[in-house]
Amino acid sequence: MTDLTALTAGRLVAGYAAGDFSPVEVTRAALERAEGVDPRVNAFVRIDGDTALEQARASAERWRRGAPAGLVDGVPVTVKDILLQRGAPTFKGSWTVPGAGPWEEDAPSVARLREHGAVFLGKTTTPEFGWKGVTDSPRHGATGNPYDPGRTAGGSSGGGAAAVALGAGPLALGTDGGGSVRIPAAFSGIFALKPTYGRVPLYPASAFGTLAHVGPMTRDAADAALLLDVIGASDPRDWSALAPFPGSFRDQLAGGVAGLRVAYSPDFGGRVAVRPQVAAAVRRAVETLEELGAHVEEADPGFEDPLDAFHVLWFSGAARVTQHLGPEQRARLDPGLREVIEEGARHSALDYLAAVDVRMALGARLGAFHQRYDLLVTPTMPDTAFEIGVEVPKGSPHRRWTEWTPFSYPFNLTQQPAASVPCGLDGAGLPIGVQLVGARHADALVLRAAHALYGTAVPRLPAPPLPAESAARP
């Protein structure tokens, strides 16, 4: 029998059209999987089985009539608990968010999925206000890695990554302000794309400003292109959104990489210490691109680490999102979040504008770099997943999450599209990701190159083990 939880969204839609199975069967399988794995990894804040089955039955009737609502009619999807979803609370991982509602509005990406007939399984875990690169919060606890629940799934979209990896829906909506779809994708063995800023409308606007992107988290690049075709539609609530993409991202997947100019930067010019097993897996992926016809050159973009500027922008955003809280509410915040709030509150307007200057200079440098190269390839992460429940690996010299994510946050500053593609496992069986970065607006090119890798054996990781029986949440 076909394992319905193992199928991509594209395969599900094709199966519905052919009458091979129904949205109700698929939704039941996805809900059973979600409820079975959640006690082990804590991927969900909320699983709404009754609503999901009601939506699935409506979808099945549309397919029976030959009149699907849209591109993902009947496909199970999860939504990060940062994005608004009508009828469901959005807690953002914080005890400071009241649960009473009313919850009457969809975020733009959620609204587009609803219009296209998607089935909403539930809301997925996030750190408090999505502030860090691992997923744990005072309100909802820590999210474990699908391959080893004693390790982190990454963050801040860790719940969505764990859900996709374990078969609890093939599509997940995440957000990425400094790596938050790419970090958990690399740690959890799935695909994720941070699109060009504005490609997916966002409302309400993020307190982290134009660092924050909405992006697809999926099993492969083809599903990400499908999801981006849905959620990339315009929405008048986001004044900074881009004009709709002229055409379909799915229609541009087949071009391959032959002739593309690829810059391979294994360690940002020696600045980043990359674990040898990670470096070897990424190099094999780069060699595959070369075998597929890309012109690969080892080249570094040559910028200084913009960490201090990123911290000014990020910590100031954290201070802003919590500015309205009183002392009692602040006492309930994640202690690490309280620290960055205090730091962010000390920054002046001049500090902020100086950080913007650094950002603009970095954008100009990368713009010039992409005049010479179509793609930049790096590791997504310098190491694999570490122990659960900590912001930085124990025993490391790092203080903040940004210090172990040097390949991700620079491209939030520059607003470029960047994807993480699984490319291997380390000796402990933990996933490794390779990052593909394109020039601004080159989302289709990034997806095309990732899809070319999916046509090889490189990213075909073994599925994570499923729990034999439910265990206590970490």
> What is the CB neighbour count within 10 angstroms for residue 327?
6
Four-point Cα dihedral 167, 168, 169, 172, nearest 10? -110
User: Per the residue annotation, which of 180, 188, 265, 408 is the catalytic one?
Assistant: 180
Pairing of strands 375-379, 431-438: antiparallel
C-alpha dist (Å) from residue 123 to 88, 356, 366, 435? 8, 33, 35, 27
List 22, 80, 157, 408, catalytic entry = 80
Asked if residues 389 and 301 have their Cβ atoms less than 8 Å apart, the reply is no
Strand ranges in 69-118 using DSSP code E only, listed in sequence order: 76-80
Give Cα 289 distance to the centre of its chain.
Answer: 23
Q: Are 207 and 177 in contact (CB under 8 A)?
A: no
Exposure of 25 in the CB half-sphere (CA atoms within 13 A):
13
Going by C-beta distance under 8 Å and a sequence separation of 6 or more, which residues neighbour residue 465?
147
How many whole angstroms separate alpha carbon 111 and alpha carbon 19? Answer: 27
Tell me whether residue 180 is one of the annotated catalytic residues.
yes
- For this structure, is 59 an active site residue? no
Among residues 94, 137, 156, 188, the one annotated as catalytic is 156
Axis-axis angle for helices 49-65, 9-18 (nearest 10): 50
Please confirm, yes or no, whether 206 is among the known catalytic residues: no
CA distance linking residue 72 with residue 68, whole number of Å: 9
Helices 23-41 & 158-165, crossing angle to 10 degrees?
120
**Tokens representing 333?**
């915040």
CA dihedral for 93, 98, 99, 104, sign (positive or negative):
negative
Contact (CB, 8 A) for 199 and 225: no
Closest C-alpha to 143, from 220, 283, 41: 41
Q: Per this entry, what is the length of the chain?
A: 474
- DSSP letter (8 states) at residue 66: T
Active site residues: 80, 156, 180
